[in-house]
Structure 1
Amino acid sequence: MSRSLRTAPSAVLVALSCLLVPFGTLAAWAAYGLTDTRDYVTTMAPLASDPAVRDAVADTVGDEIAREAGMNPLFLRDAVRSFTATRAYRTAWNAGNEAAHTAVMRALNDESADRDSYPVTVDLAAVTSPMKRQLTADHVPFADHLPVRHTRVALLPPDELAVLRKGYHVLDVAGFWLPLAAVLFAAAGIAMAACRRRAVTATALGTALGGALLGLAVAIARRLTLSDLPDAAHRPAAGAVYDALTATLRTASWLLLALGLTVAATAWLTRPHSPAVRLLRRRRVSATPLPTAPPEPTRVRV
């Protein structure tokens, strides 16, 4: 096969591989990084001690209880904020996140569930009940009068549940096949290339560019997500949650960038006519000892 006939398909395969790198990483993160309940609870657990998250919980829960009990919301906010520093709150936080994630994943996976008979909700009593027990044990005034009602908060819009299920199944398939296709295209493009060193360099630079674009997309999405929130006071808490959920994705983008640049630099420095290879060859030649002439025979004068 001629050089031109080998170069064009190789370039197409390498370009496709580099294009699939950020999309494959994003799909794999969404399909595997956000669907495991145990990993999700572990990721969200440190946020129980985040000051912005604690303030948002105190404002939300305190206002809800004050509206139902007809009490002063400022007093209840301070009471809830003090409760967020206890071990009982961290236990309730983990239990609430586990229950919410389990309900969402069960709704996305169970296509036979009826939308009306299977609401995707979480019960706020999981937070208010241990809070009431803690405040009563601390002898907080009027703590025993706090209402504990099973108020269910919708996690997924019922009219969009079918669309979300289809999107979830698409991500589940793409999370496996897109990264695999990127690897296969890269291997085929390098094997078919007329100059494999250049193909490796191009693939590495494309991978680094994909990692950089992925990190930029995560940063832009964070800015857009926070700017769309109606309540500006809760934006720090939402930012902390966003950063916790996308930590693995941001790490993957940095790894792709570092790996691509490292491979590209190694391929460039080890090319046959590079200055580094020439210098190494000169040092080897200079270090090789020169052959010595045999000693002349000693003449004896008679």
Structure 2
Amino acid sequence: MSAAHDSRSPEPPGEGEGVATAGARPERGGGHGPAWIARSTASAVLTVLACLLVPVALLTVWVHDIALDTDRYVSTVAPLATEPAIQDAAVHRITEAVGVRVDGPRAAADIASWLQSQGLPPRAAAALRSLGPQIDSAVDDAVTKVATRVVHSGVFATVWTDSNRIAHNAVVHALTGKGRGAVGVSDGTVTLDIGVAVERVKKELVDAGLSPAAHIPDVNKQMVLFHSDELAKLRRGAHLLDVVGDWLPVLVVLIGAGGVLLAHNRRRALARTALGAAFACLVVAIGLVVARRYYLDHLPSQVQSKAAAAAVFDTLLRFLRVSLRTAIVLGVVIALGVYLIGPGRLPVAVRGASERTADSTATWAYAHHVHTGRAGTWTQAHRRWMTLAALLVVALVFALWNHPTVLTVVLLVLVLLAVLALLALLAASGRATLDAERPSTGRPVEGPDEGPDEGPDES
């Protein structure tokens, strides 16, 4: 019997390699059949397609959340009102809009002519006319100070937020050409209507005693924030993303799941899909950095402030960048988790060390009359299903999380590790309880166990 058992002993390890070598067995069997090749090809195609579509799906989510969700859009652009670059650009544009209508030299000349008609000596009238540049400079300084006070007092922030919330279709106009709001788009130029702020500056100038400001007519009150000759193409792309945006993320998940399920080695396929999606998102993230640098280095003359354009660019794409970083971290975490449950030497060593630590802790606790009773033995019997349930719950929480971030991924990973550690301790406690109670409840079994050990001694 023992010889027969020994002759068969090399075979079970080859059969028991499980999923880790399932894809390699057909090679030892003499080649692959058409069904095997078709299945592998379909799995590879679906996996690659899912990896490529992950960043596209994130882009559709960004379009929906920024362009079609009022609260999300307002919360995204609201910080721009307090951005120093935007404030400086607004002060410059308001001062320019008001100052162009207040002509100091002409005002000085008119005053000098009127006073001369009333008897002012010509020399004094000429001296008064020479004060025109100083008057102009003083008016400009006054306008700049008032404009700065208005922009930094919170009035500008309120105007910014209210106008964007009330006229939310402005961002739809920016992407599709429909609608009009405080932020408008024309011929590839994105502008901000600062008319309310200009009127506030005019009122404060009049209240301060600068009566000519009351006669400032309506002027161009648009502040250019962004310009791109490719905006028409972006609009067409945004329309396409808007059409597929409702179902594309779900479709990507289904495609990826199909690729994994069709694979002969599903564990390895899951790791490759996760890493492939993370790499695709990394490429897009790098592309955004390059696009930002290229845009800022080639700003057209319509854009009045490079710093303001950079602030607008960064703010509008912040959510997309966060989503890409989250997808990258999530892909790496999934691949690492799949690796740690595999048959490799390091994963086996890590799992073995964890189990030994849990067993040692449970044994020590039982020796000190701390044990879990039936809860531990039940956990030991159903640990695998409880682990799968924990994984599904964490995955569901992540799927339902509103705009997850890298911090969300880290938090959920820590929660999952805590749950797995708790299950390991409960299972170890259950084993310790069974091992401690077995000698007292199963004494007849000790005879056969001790027999073989004592037999050789007696002989």
Structure of greater Rg: 2
User: 1:63, 1:77 within 8 Å by CA — same for their partners in 2?
Assistant: no
More relative contact order in 1 or in 2 (CA 8 Å, sep 6+)?
1
Report the counterpart of residue 245 of structure 1 in structure 2. Answer: 316
| Counterpart amino acid of residue 202 in structure 2 | K
User: 1:22, 1:214 within 8 Å by CA — same for their partners in 2?
Assistant: yes
Report the counterpart of residue 173 of structure 1 in structure 2. Answer: 243
Matched, 1:197 2:267: yes
User: 1:211, 1:257 within 8 Å by CA — same for their partners in 2?
Assistant: yes
Q: Which moved more, 1:25-34 or 1:227-236?
A: 227-236
| Counterpart amino acid of residue 147 in structure 1 | I
Report the counterpart of residue 44 of structure 2 in structure 1. Answer: 11
| Counterpart amino acid of residue 78 in structure 1 | K
User: 2:194, 2:223 within 8 Å by CA — same for their partners in 1?
Assistant: no
Superposed CA deviations along residues 37-72 of structure 1, whole A, max 9, x for unmatched, are 333222222222221111111112211222233354
Residues 265-280 of structure 1 mapped to structure 2, 5 A cutoff: 265-278=336-349, 280=351
Q: CA RMSD in A?
A: 3.8
Superposed CA deviations along residues 224-247 of structure 1, whole A, max 9, x for unmatched, are 221121458711111111111111
Partner secondary structure for residue 84 of structure 1: helix
Matched, 1:25 2:58: yes
Residues 1-302 of structure 1 mapped to structure 2, 5 A cutoff: 2-70=35-103, 72=136, 74-75=140-141, 76-98=143-165, 101-103=168-170, 105=172, 123-136=193-206, 139=208, 141-142=210-211, 144-145=213-214, 147=216, 149=218, 151=220, 153=222, 166-230=236-300, 234-278=305-349, 280-281=351-352
Structure 1 unaligned runs (5+)? 114-118, 297-302
Report the counterpart of residue 376 of structure 2 in structure 1. Answer: none
Partner secondary structure for residue 305 of structure 2: helix
CA distance change for structure 1 residues 84 and 62 in 2, over 3 Å: closer, same or farther?
Answer: same
| Counterpart amino acid of residue 310 in structure 2 | G
Percent identity over the alignment is 30
Separation of aligned partners in 2, 1:218 and 1:161? 16
Superposed CA deviations along residues 109-154 of structure 1, whole A, max 9, x for unmatched, are 797x9xxxxx9787542221233334555x3645843625264649
Separation of aligned partners in 2, 1:229 and 1:106? 22
Structure-2-length-normalised TM-score = 0.54
CA distance change for structure 1 residues 125 and 201 in 2, over 3 Å: closer, same or farther?
Answer: same
User: 1:22, 1:213 within 8 Å by CA — same for their partners in 2?
Assistant: no
User: 1:24, 1:174 within 8 Å by CA — same for their partners in 2?
Assistant: no
CA distance change for structure 1 residues 131 and 4 in 2, over 3 Å: closer, same or farther?
Answer: same
CA distance change for structure 1 residues 185 and 274 in 2, over 3 Å: closer, same or farther?
Answer: farther
Separation of aligned partners in 1, 2:338 and 2:298? 45
Separation of aligned partners in 1, 2:267 and 2:79? 45
Structure-1-length-normalised TM-score = 0.78
| Structure 1 residue 104, shift from structure 2 partner | 5.3
CA distance change for structure 1 residues 104 and 212 in 2, over 3 Å: closer, same or farther?
Answer: closer
| Structure 1 residue 84, shift from structure 2 partner | 0.8
| Counterpart amino acid of residue 32 in structure 1 | D
User: 1:123, 1:150 within 8 Å by CA — same for their partners in 2?
Assistant: no
| Counterpart amino acid of residue 326 in structure 2 | L
| Structure 1 residue 93, shift from structure 2 partner | 2.2
Structure 2 unaligned runs (5+)? 1-32, 105-135, 180-184, 361-431, 440-445, 452-459
CA distance change for structure 1 residues 250 and 284 in 2, over 3 Å: closer, same or farther?
Answer: closer
